[in-house]
Each structure stands twice: as C-alpha cells, then as structure tokens.
Structure 1
C-alpha cells in the first residue's frame, strides 16, 4: 500500500503546480479532499485558533500539535503536511518531532528557523536563529527521516523579514544541501523575488499565499511559470468559515433568516453519516444469515 510520503513524492515528481488549500481541523481537511484537491496542509495558524482559541504565537505544545495532526491525517486519504514549527527545542527535540509527525500519518513535516516561540510568518515581531542552529534543525530532521521516519522534510526560512532575501536564499540552499525535500522561503514581497527563490535550487518550492499578506496573490498560471510546485493557501478556508459564522450569528441575534446554511442532507453526507450507515448495514441482525449448527 502506498504511504502518505510516497503519495506526496509522486505529486512532487509531476512537473506542475499543485494547489493546496490548508486545513485547520479534520472536517476542513475532509472538505478539501471532497473538493478534489490532491493534498492539504495542517496550518499552524488555523490549528492554534481552532484547537485552543489562541493566536499562532507558539502556545500549542508538541503533544497538542501531534494529536491534532493525527486527527487530520486520519480523516483523509490525500497526503497531509504537518506544521512542526521550530521543532519544540534543540536538535534532539526536532528529531522527536519529525518521528512523531511521521507516526501521526503526515506525509511531510515543516521545520522552520524562527526563534522560539515562533510567530505567524505574516505578523510582526518574528526573528530567526543563527545559521548554524538553523542548519542543525534541518540536519536533525533529515537524520530522523534517514533513521526510518517515512516522511518528507519541508524546510522553511523566515530570514527574508529580518535579514533580506540574500540571507534567506543562502539558508534555503544549505537546507537543500543538507537533504531537505521541499523548500519554503516565507514572505517574498514581489514576483521578482519569487522567481529568484525558485531559480536558486533544484528543490521543489512552496509558495504561501496569505490573502492580505506580504506575498503577491498571483494566479496559479503565473505561480507555475515561476517554478513553484505547491501553492499553499493557509487561511482561505478558516477565513471564509469565520466570516460565515459571524454573519450567521448576527442574523440569529436579530431573529433574521439564516440564509447561508448548507442543506442538512448535504451536511450529513459531507461529515460522513451516509457512508457510516451504509457500511454498518453488514453488522445489523437483519443482514446476517444465522445457520443451524446442526
């Protein structure tokens, strides 16, 4: 049987861009798969918001993150990339994080070079560790993979914000040299910078498109022409869901008709009620044939 990591490797081997809506919980991941997208990502921003109702500022623990990743990966059959943040400690913690995310069912895990506690890549106040510490994190992540964790390593640098694009590219090139499978240079500020990023190495690159963020929201055609292999949309689903919920709560408070609700039958089907009932039929007494043992 093909593993999640093998599924992701096969996607990355295709010379094309893959659109990746990001999930913040198991239900949103199911909707991504039902919509026909080939992969998803557990957004740290959305996971923190949905699980603990708090901003993505390093408040979730390693155990909470792995548990959340396991729930999401278990709800879908498409490969899911997990957000491993800074690895939750030193290089040995990074190894544990990578192994834990692999056992949770993640196809890949993202490890970044921010100072702990980390911050969302498009919010103020973020800083990165020195080069050698950043390199040690990726060395440790690759070592965990080489020691048997069936998972890809997505290496992220946030150095563009504080030190400029040249430093970010230096780090990305070294990450690739150390064995990272996918590269992610966060928050480039122009199409020209994005082209420079993709030209800097032979690795598959991921673009992170945050509506209202620092990176240009380019069309998929342009992103593919630039050379990106994955286009991640980390906040699109959560933002749409939150807006719909706020509007519906306002309508409910004013005793107005709730005009944007999903049909109850469709809601049950998408959650999985219909599949559950169909599969459970074989276990009902009416479906069994009881034979006389004599």
Structure 2
C-alpha cells in the first residue's frame, strides 16, 4: 500500500531564495514525515547564508492540519532535482548521517536540506558489528528504502565499494535508484573493505577504480535517472596524497558529480584537494571524536572550496552514550532523569501518534464513536489519572509495614514495590471497578503471612489541596487525607522517613533524601510554595507544576522505599 502525507497550513516554516543552477528555480513542497510542520522549498537556499538554518515562522496549531504519512510524498526524481539544486547553490551545506527512519526524520525536522546514510552507523545499529564489510548489498537496500520513504529531503546513500566489480557496481547503482536515494557514494577499496580513518585500508588499481565510476554513470543513464554520483577515494591513507588527487581528477573526468578524498590529514591537504577539477563539487567528512581530518567550521570549509559536508558519527555516537547512561541509571534502581529524555507526549508527537489519532477519526465507525465518548480528556488528573491505588501491608504481628498511594496510570511499576502483586491483573480490577471510588480491590495474605490490601481512591493534585486548605473549605486536616497538613496515623515523632539522619556533616545527602520523602508524601509542592528559602539553600530551581506530576511523585516514592529494602 502506498500512502502519503499532505499538510494544509497558513503559515509554514519556509526556506526561500532565488538561485541559478542546473535546473533553475523550481517550486516544490515538503511535508516532514509524521510531523506537524511543513517545509517549503520554493527555491532552495539564500546566497548570503552558509547553512540551511534560515528565518522560520512556526505554524500555529490553530492554523494547520496534518495528515499522517506512511512514506515520503516526494518522488525520487524530485529529490534528485532538489539535491542538484543544493549542489548548484552558493555556500556549504551540512548533512548529518542517519542510520534508520527515525534518525532521518529527526535530521529533516531539524531543518537540514539533505542527509547521508552511514555504513558505520547502520552496521552498528542493525548488526551490532563493526563497519568492516559485514553489511551486504541487500541489507543496505532494505535499510535505505525505509529511510528514503520516511523523509522528503534527498538522501545520499553509502554504497561502500559497490559490492564487487564494475558489473556489481551497475547493479548497486540501479538498486539504490529503486530504493529512493538521490545520491550514491562509491569508493575504491578492495573487498572486504575497511572503515574510514581505521587501519588496513587497501584500494584497487587506478584503472579499476575509474572503471567503477564509468559503470556507475552507465547504470544511471540506462535507468533514465539523474542520481548524483559521489566518487570517493581512500588512496590518501592507503597510498599517498598525490595518488588520491590523481584519482579524484580521473573520477571527475569519468562523470562523477561530486568527488571526495577520505582521511585528508591537514587543512593544507584539503586546500590542495579543492583545487582539483574546481568546477566539480567537493565533499568533506567531519569525523567527530578524533579522526585524521581536522574538524573545521562550515565557514572554513566553504572558504576552502567544499560544497557538502557529512557528520557521520554524531547521531549514533550520542545515541550510544545516552543508552549507556540510561542503562546505568536503571541498573542502579533509578530511571533516567527527566532532562535526559523527552517527555512521553513529545515522543508520541515525534513518532506521529497525535497525527495518527487525528486522521483515524476520519474513518471512525459508529461503534468507535461511542467508545470514544467514554474516553477521558488529556488532563493528567482525569480518567485513569484521577484515581490512585492505595496499597497497605500489615505484618503478621499487626504492625503496619507500608501504606502508600500510587497513580493508577503506573500499574507496571507497582510490582517493583510490592512483588506479591506480580501475578495480579490490576488493570482488569480497575476496569471492573469502573467509576466506583473507595472500594477495596484486593485483600489477601502473601506467603510470608503479611496482609496486603489494595484500595481505589481519588487523586487530587497537591495544588488543589493547598487551595482548599487556604480557603478553609477543607475538612479537619486530621481527617482529610487530601490536605497538605494531613499526617498519617503511622507517622509520628519516632517515624523514620529519611535515611540517613541529619548529623551536620551529611547535610546535602540528607537534604536530597528529605526532598524525595516530601515528594513521595505529596508535600513537596506545599513546601516549595511556602518555604522557598529551603530550596534556595539547596540551590534547587523548583518548577511548581512539575512537583505534582504523577511521574515525579511515583519516582520519589520508589526511591524512598528502596532505601529501606536495599
């Protein structure tokens, strides 16, 4: 099934200018995949700018209508035409390297005019293996098709050494055209190839390298396509700079649209390269994190003579580090801090859930409409979030071991606190309870003889609690459990809610534990509003709306409880 996206906007994000080039000014549109904005490339880029980030006018939510997309709406010929406009336009143009559809979408959403695929990153993400020739032609075609179908910007595909001799190169070029690539990078390494900027690189003979490019040009002509051929040589590291310069000139004479020498070792070598075939665009590779080529700014690259620049490791590199940090936090009994990952709502928006839900309404049946009326609003304290589960554990000796409340939306996290609930279908119990509040959902004894009770209660934000208390409309704080002044019967002067106890020298450790304890008791907002000097002394910037967020409350409860069970 071939479905596509479209967008109707009054104010769209736009990049516009008048340029002269191979195709002249071309009017075209771009609707980012699963996004709520439209990028309009009426013509591509302004001559006075050195990057594609121009003035933008964000589309307001009231002025736009987004329809979900399952594939790119731009044809391959449109993307090729756009890529050639980029190559003919003034300035240097940046293209981060993606490795899957999501990373390609993020590149497009960030406003870049093009992106590359990275064999290094695809090998890492798809196979978990180094970029040493493990990836096959078929795997790269498969991954590339998913990437090109998900975006409307041109994608230049990494085709390694063409996966064989000149005849294999012809098949590779035709396959990349069918996969939707606007450009293809072909290198002159032997098989199996080695990754750029690493040891052990070897290249084929000069004659065979040129024949590969001629075969690529023939395949393009036979296909009736105008795919951009980027000819790369690894001879600088394998042989010498002089040989690399000679091959670049020969590639340009053979019909390559862009030439690229990998692993140039200095700015002087880069300048020498850009003097070869000056009318043919040059590609730079800014290998982040310590490659052989010096890292230069886009302005410096333009001054030297480069036209496009790739950033091959940024996306895969930060992804690896972010996953390592998240796994370290989870293994330590925590969750990744809020600042290290987008909120769930933003993740859903990036992936297109909200656009999907809007378009889904167009095809809703009568039954679907009836069911939708029963759905709650998006208010975090409505629907399932308007209810809490009170979990009470009493020991065989009659002493209360635990009495806490958890938002009903966090059913999956409850078993981390009370393992005995692992085999209980709490969701079904909630569904059966419907709107009944205050009822007892569970009452049983575990294998240790402890009595476990689960009650269904109403969740109110602590902001509402404070307002009720301030207005005098609340009941006696000794009886009203929603009051910020309420103290549970199990809490008293002898209760130990914070570990370790304050000794004077451990103030900061104690303060962190106290903040968690107050958050778990849903008292943190009250203190933040009325005793701001406490947080100022802790040098903590408090966002009051965050303190009542169920995620924050549950996280505080979990961290506090773990102090006692660890």
TM-score range, shorter chain: over 0.9
* TM-aligned CA deviation for residue 282 of structure 1: 1.8
Which of 231, 234, 248 aligns to 1:155? It is 231
Which of 94, 109, 112 aligns to 1:34? It is 109
Which consecutive unaligned segments of at least 5 residues does structure 1 have?
A: 287-294
* TM-aligned CA deviation for residue 108 of structure 1: 0.5
- SS of equivalent residue, structure 2 residue 147: helix
Match of 1:100 in 2: 175
Match of 1:191 in 2: 267
Match of 1:289 in 2: none
Runs of 4+ in 1 over 6 A off after TM superposition: none
Larger helix proportion of the pair = 1
* In structure 2, distance between residues paired with 1:270 and 1:57: 33
* TM-aligned CA deviation for residue 149 of structure 1: 3.2
Match of 1:291 in 2: none
Which of 336, 359, 383 aligns to 1:279? It is 359
* TM-aligned CA deviation for residue 236 of structure 1: 0.7
Match of 2:350 in 1: 270
TM-score by length of 2: 0.50
- SS of equivalent residue, structure 1 residue 114: coil
1:152-211 deviation line (CA, Å, top 9, x unaligned): 111000000021111001000010001001111101011111111111112111100112
* TM-aligned CA deviation for residue 276 of structure 1: 1.9
Alignment of 1:91-240 (within 5 A): 91-147=166-222, 148-201=224-277, 202-211=279-288, 212-240=290-318
* In structure 2, distance between residues paired with 1:95 and 1:138: 9
1:231-287 deviation line (CA, Å, top 9, x unaligned): 10001111011101101100110012411121111111111212222233222236x
- SS of equivalent residue, structure 1 residue 3: helix
- SS of equivalent residue, structure 2 residue 113: coil
* In structure 1, distance between residues paired with 2:358 and 2:79: 26
**Number of aligned residues:** 288
* TM-aligned CA deviation for residue 150 of structure 1: 3.6
Match of 2:324 in 1: 246
1:37-85 deviation line (CA, Å, top 9, x unaligned): 1100110000111111111011111111111110110111100011111
* TM-aligned CA deviation for residue 223 of structure 1: 0.7
Q: Max radius of gyration: which structure?
A: 2
Contact 1:102 1:150 in 2 (8 A): no
Which consecutive unaligned segments of at least 5 residues does structure 2 have?
A: 1-74, 367-566
Match of 2:377 in 1: none
Q: CA RMSD in A?
A: 1.5
